[in-house]
Structure 1
Amino acid sequence: MDTHTAATRYIGPTGMDPIFNRIANWLPKLGIDVAGGRLLAVRGRKSGEWRTTLVNVLTTDDGNRYLVAPRGHTQWVRNLRVAGAGEIRLGRKVEAFTATEVADADKIPVLRAYLDRWGWEVGRFFEGVTQDATDAELADIAPGFPVFRLA
């Protein structure tokens, strides 16, 4: 993957994705935890209005928490870059956070852990790269997969 393509990589919803996404987004609103899914809320970079989407929050062995964008440079990624903060929601529980984008060189262990935990769910967006990939393979795809550390 060349740098320009990776920097703009985005895989939009297709087929049944929009319908599935609507249903899946309701589950955390109702307080239902499915495989760790949470509702991410971030202020829109232009409108300032809250925008929500379903995400998986990865907690690593050292206690750090991350958001990974398997579809690439999505709207929530662009909004979070501008806002620098947001909320993780599950039912009535709302947790505010600040976010720092992770440098490509530091993404390898996070991407590996994310694929190990949710590869079954998001593997199609990684185009054949799995948790068993070499560090070099993960480094090669890293620019196309934004990662944020939450605090």
Structure 2
Amino acid sequence: MFLKGFAYGVTDPDHPGRTLRYGEGPLAGKRALVVTTVGGRGPDLGPRGVHGDLDELLFPLQHGTLFYVGYEVLPPVVVAGANRVSDDEFATAAKELRERVLAISSTAPIPFRTQNGGDYDDDLVLRDHVAPGRAGLGVHLRDRSMETDR
């Protein structure tokens, strides 16, 4: 349950006045996996597709809700074109879901930046040296392959 004082709105006992959230919330150490179906089937779920980019569509749920309260959020399981899958496509989707659920403990989470990890200033805005020249939702992800990202 997402109740104030349990899942959010909890202050850091070691830093009075600082709220535990965005990776450091009360549910830190637990994992979340979004499983969803969508009607789109491919390019229509991309950055220029009519439905929009799937990562951006799921950002409010994965980052703004689950990561906010501390969950390590795993890459989602998405069944595209779910309203018209064939029996073979259904079997493939079911197999993927089973495999992903069984791999929850070993799957790398989405690398969201933590609020209090040093990337954000006191106004909760990314520092100038972090993801320079970039904007949009993607800047809230750490790029592990780029040393200049931090």
Normalised to the residue count of structure 1, the TM-score between the two structures is 0.24
Q: Who wins on radius of gyration, i.e. which is larger?
A: 2
Normalised to the residue count of structure 2, the TM-score between the two structures is 0.25
Structure having the larger proportion of residues in strand: 1
